[in-house]
Structure 1
Amino acid sequence: MVDREAFYRNVVYSLRNGVITLWRDGSIADMNDAAYRILGLDADPEHIGRSFHDVLGNDHDLVDVLALAFTDAALPNRAELRLRSSGKVIGFTLCRIVDRDGTMSGAALLFKDLTRVDQLEERERLRDRLAALGEMAAAIAHEVKNPLASIQIMAGLLKRQLPDSPDAHELLTDIIHEAKMANRIVVDVLDFVRPISLEVDPVSVRVVLDDAVAAARRHPKAGHTTIVTDCATDLPDLDADQLQLRQVFTNLLINAMEALVGGGHIWITASYATVDASPEPSEPPEYVGYVTIEVADDGPGVPVDVTDQLFSPFFTTKPSGSGLGLAIVRKIIDAHDGQIEVTPRAGGGATFRVRLPVSHHVEAVRVAGGDRAAGGNHV
């Protein structure tokens, strides 16, 4: 005879959606593996029988939702919530469990990680806003760039006509410098609002990183910076725009160099993981894995209170700059359906982490052709 209770338990534990069931007194009756994974908790048998307030206390909003089940309030169905502990977005349904005689015996929360869907929707909204801004910015830039060019030319002519006036030379040099800075901001704005058109081909991650290091080395801020690269031997190629990816990692390297006043170290690492080994609970089915590239430095790091703003347009912690460099980086990564984040580095400094997807056909080529050997090197 079929063990009905064991069968239903296996059903719950086989679901990819999270399930939390509670007894009438608010203690946890059960949590499936997906619930632990989505909430970022370690599966602990000791959680069973404890109050949901104690186990889930780090997510106050989630606790408030579960508490609704023990009131007379109408319960949410197909609602969404952002978890404070991780920033993930979950879609959920909360219901009361009622006996045959109508007595409430507990509650159940069914939920799914919608973070990926939320990110894609936000990207679409951003693309729509940028398309509208692009037309306006292009018109404004045309009107601004011409006067700026005239200012630089006329200031240069005046410098030559006033060879015996050091004060005038200094002022005119400042005018030319500021005009160049304003022109750079105009160019950055155009780059940011212009729709990205990708020229996608199979791209070697190692080649992109080597090119980015070479480009960053030519930057005036390079100074006495030591760059160490360490690429895994099993990196597949990416379906990507090679030039735009090179811009991403060149910008990240220059950003790190600017943080390393007087020199320091930058570490670049690249690794590959299949979807099964990925920390994300739900991945787009068209991808089989992700290449993760980290750019870390031993500089002063990024203040925690500005981390969320770091990729926002016109936000900068530097005395000079347009505040668009990292915003452009994120835009390019988004166009490749990737992800970027910044975290403190153990031992000081910051780590920028980029995840780029690997498609099925690229993985098939990698497996058929064998792994590409790559070692670490110092620059």
Structure 2
Amino acid sequence: MSILRYQGLSRETAGEITRRELLFFNIYRCLEAGVYVSLFLTPLGGGSIRITHLLLGQSASLLYLAAALILLLLTGQLLRHLTGTIVFSLGIDIVAAVAVLFSLAGYGLVPMMLMLNIGIAALLMPRHAHAFAIAAALGVATPYVYGLFGGAHEPVSGFVVLAMSGAYLVIATLLRHLGGHVRAAEDLAERRGADLLNLEQINDLIIQRMRTGVMLVDRANYILRINESAWHLIGNPSPGEHELGVVAPELSRRLYHWRHNSRAEQTGVALAADMPEVIPRFTRLTPDDDSNVLIFLEDTSLVSQRAEELTLSSLGRLSASIAHEIRNPLAAIRYSAQLLAESPDLSADDTRLVEIINNHCTRANDVVENILQLSRRERSRPETIDLNAWVLNFVEEYKQSNDLGQDELRAVTSNRRLEAVVDPQHLQQVAWNLVQNALRYGRQPNQPARVAVVARIAADKGPPLMEVIDRGPGIPPKVAAQIFEPFYTTHEYGTGLGLYLAKQMSEASQATLEYVPIAGGGACFRITLQAVQATLSNPRISA
């Protein structure tokens, strides 16, 4: 759902308003031309108005009628040249009015009819309102001036001409300001409507994306509105089913109990098969009216998850504090054990005890280091890397830093450039941890470990992947479901923090770490990275 934004009148709305006004202007012009034609071609005006130049009046009125009809038919096309259209059409109005005035004895109603033309033009083009009024005043004064200098036109009172000219200026000024106020009001109303529409869409978007289920139910238990979470929690009913008692009978029962007792049950309930338990909460839209009721469905699993996250966060801070206090005495114990191991008087049993002390000191120190690393983890600094080159360098560096003995570690890369966006330092720590686990646990009994670090693209030109694959016995499904939980381990010397820390670092770089079982035996830990530009190609193998 897109969120609409408006600044003033939208282009479509403003265009529609202008088209309507211009259409009205052209219709009035046709009516005005019809009046002129009736004066000279029908007996309607013969009794009250004396015609002095019949041929001029007939020609002018017919030409004016033809021009008015053409302008009316071309209203839509003329919108693209609005200013020129209004100036040209008003010029035709003034010329036609002057010609009609020359054809009549006196002024009659012609100047009054032209006044509406001036007013409409001032509304459409407020900046030119006074220019329109002056042009009309000069046109109306032309027959009067012509008569003053001995022309054949019957003279009229100069006061009438002056009054009409003043009226044009007044009308243009008033309608100019009125038009400004009307357009400002239209603009304000349009903005208010747009703001309300934006607000409604934002509210709908927020409600739809809320993880808490939200429903609006009327007095007849008819569902008026429902968001995605609520629809899912009540078992994804048919879109055409809106009866609460049908789609969620237990929820309808609790709502009935709340309406009559003003108290809701606080126990969790599953509203559909295979759905998590929820705690329904009810509230009225208005304090004194329960015709419409809002129902909030709080997923208890989300509440438990938030509580677990808070617990882990608090536990992490506490563990970090404890780890700092443990390091000093642990270092003293380990140093003393090393000195004791150098004594020549130790028996075989004492040497074995010293070895046990050293092993457990090493294990405790690993736990402390992991906890401290987790608590002081730095923010991710992603950058673009060539994943093929990175994997090759990593495998070579690991071989140089560790004596693999008979174990095998190799890199499998693509023969084309494979780019990914990741924090290289975090990826180094994650890959180091995964390779160590694979070499330690991913081996068949009495056989060397065979581990591969693979850089490739997911199927169908998907994101870049880095995988650490071994050919060991694999991980049982029950264990695989918990390996990324903190402090979970199946090895007596394991800390249970290595994979948890690796997953947290991967997510900090907007990557995902997952375990993928391999058919026929073995384990695969896959890191899905952010893509920059990748090309699927055949792999090549380096020793």
Task: Tell me whether the two structures share a fold, i.e. TM-score over 0.5.
Answer: yes
Task: Check conservation: 1:294, 1:351, Cα contact below 8 A.
Answer: yes
Distance in 2 between residues matched to 1:124 and 1:334, nearest whole Å: 18
Is it true that 1:263 corresponds to 2:433 in the alignment?
no
* SS of aligned partner of 1:309: coil
For residue 481 of structure 2, give the secondary structure of its aligned residue in structure 1.
helix
Residue in structure 1 matched with residue 525 of structure 2 by the alignment? 352
2:513 to 340, 348, 365: 340
* SS of the residue 1:270 aligns to: strand
2:372 counterpart letter in structure 1: L
Answer whether contact 1:222 1:254 (CA < 8 A) is retained. Answer: no
Structure 1: 5+ residue stretches without partners = 1-71, 82-88, 99-103, 105-121, 279-288
Judging changes above 3 Å, is the alpha-carbon distance between structure 1 residues 129 and 199 closer, same or farther for their aligned structure 2 residues? Answer: farther
Instruction: Say yes or no: does 1:245 pair with 2:427.
Output: yes
**2:542 alignment partner in structure 1:** 378
CA RMSD, 1 decimal: 3.9
Tell me if the contact between 2:438 and 2:451 (Cα under 8 Å) persists in the aligned partners: yes
Matched residue count? 260
Larger Rg: 2
String of CA shifts for 1:75-122, please: whole Å, max 9, x gaps.
7933549xxxxxxx9999644427xxxxx9xxxxxxxxxxxxxxxxx9
Is 2:372 the counterpart of 1:184?
A: no
The Cα offsets for residues 247-280 of structure 1, whole Å up to 9 and x where unpaired, read as 2122222222122142143333322359xx47xx
**In 2 relative to 1, CA 355–235 (structure 1 residues): closer, same or farther, beyond 3 Å?**
farther
CA distance in 2, matches of 1:376, 1:340: 24
**Could you state the TM-score of these two structures normalised by the residue count of structure 1?**
0.57
> Relative to 1, partners in 2 of residues 1:264 and 1:161: Cα closer, same or farther, differing over 3 Å?
closer
Relative to 1, partners in 2 of residues 1:214 and 1:80: Cα closer, same or farther, differing over 3 Å? farther
Distance 1:238 1:172 in 2: 48
Is the 1:213–1:253 Cα contact (8 Å) retained in structure 2?
no
Contact in 1 for aligned 2:421/2:529 (Cα 8 Å):
no
In 2, Cα distance between equivalents of 1:95 and 1:153 = 70
Amino acid of the structure 2 residue aligned with 1:378: S
Counterpart contact for 1:213–1:250, Cα < 8 Å = no
Are residues 1:147 and 2:311 paired? no
The whole-number CA distance in structure 2 between the counterparts of 1:90 and 1:338 is 29
**What displacement does 1:242 show?**
1.0
Matched letter for residue 338 of structure 2: G
TM superposition shift of 1:144: 0.4
Counterpart amino acid of residue 143 in structure 1: E
Find the residue that maps to 1:313 and give its secondary structure: coil
User: Per-residue displacement from partner, 1:291-339 (whole Å, max 9, x unpaired)?
Assistant: 1222222210110112210111111222321111111110111111111
d(CA) in 1 for partners of 2:417 and 2:315?
Answer: 38
- Deviations along 1:115-172, one digit per CA (max 9) or x if unpaired, are xxxxxxx999988666544432332111101000111122223334453533323322
* Distance in 2 (alpha carbons) for counterparts of 1:165 and 1:350: 43
1:40-189 correspondence to structure 2 within 5 Å: 77-80=226-229, 94-97=237-240, 132-161=314-343, 163-189=345-371
Structure 2 partner of 1:229: 411
Within the candidate set 464, 473, 497, 1:291 is matched to 464
Percentage of pairs with the same residue: 27
Q: Kindly indicate whether residue 457 of structure 2 is the aligned counterpart of residue 272 of structure 1.
A: yes
More strand as a share of residues: 1
Secondary structure, counterpart of 2:507 in structure 1:
helix
Amino acid at match of 1:229: A
- Aligned twin of 2:114: none
Which range moved further: 261-270 or 249-258? 261-270
Contact kept, 8 Å, 1:196 with 1:335, in 2: the verdict is no
How does the TM-score come out when normalised to structure 2?
A: 0.41
d(CA) in 2 for partners of 1:97, 1:91:
14
The DSSP-based 3-state class of the residue aligned with 2:340 is helix
Amino acid corresponding to residue 227 of structure 2 in structure 1: R
Of 483, 494, 503, the residue aligned with 1:330 is 503
Relative to structure 1, the CA distance from residue 354 to residue 146 in structure 2 (aligned partners, 3 Å threshold; closer, same or farther) is same
Determine if contact 1:235/1:291 at 8 Å carries over to the other structure. Answer: no
Tell me the distance in 2 between the aligned counterparts of 1:296 and 1:166. Answer: 41
Instruction: Tell me the distance in 1 between the aligned counterparts of 2:513 and 2:310.
Output: 21
1:187 Cα deviation from its structure 2 partner: 0.8
Pair 354,137 (structure 1): closer, same or farther in 2 beyond 3 Å: same
SS of residue matched to 1:342:
strand
**One-letter amino acid of the counterpart of residue 355, structure 2:** T
Change (3 A) 1:308 1:196: farther
Residues 251 and 160 (structure 1 numbering): CA distance in 2 closer, same or farther, change over 3 Å? closer
Superposed CA deviations along residues 224-264 of structure 1, whole A, max 9, x for unmatched, are 33334332345443232212202212222222212214214
Partners of 2:346 and 2:408 lie apart in 1 by 44
Q: Secondary structure at the match of 1:139?
A: helix
Which amino acid counterpart does residue 193 of structure 1 have in structure 2? S
Letter in 2 for 1:195: R
| Cα-to-partner distance string for 1:1-45 (whole Å, 9 max, x where unaligned) | xxxxxxxxxxxxxxxxxxxxxxxxxxxxxxxxxxxxxxxxxxxxx
1:315 corresponds to: 488
- The 3 A distance-change label for structure 1 pair 294 and 157 is closer
In the alignment, is the contact (CA less than 8 A) between 1:338 and 1:354 conserved in 2? yes
CA–CA distance in structure 1, aligned partners of residues 430 and 340 of structure 2: 39
Q: Of Structure 1 and Structure 2, which has the larger fraction of its residues in helix?
A: 2
1:224 & 1:74 partners in 2: Cα distance? Answer: 72
The structure showing larger relative contact order (alpha-carbon pairs under 8 Å, at least 6 residues apart) is 1
> CA 1:73–1:297 in structure 2 vs 1: closer, same or farther (change >3 Å)?
farther
Q: Secondary structure at the match of 2:226?
A: coil
Q: Does the 8 Å contact 2:391/2:454 carry over to 1?
A: no
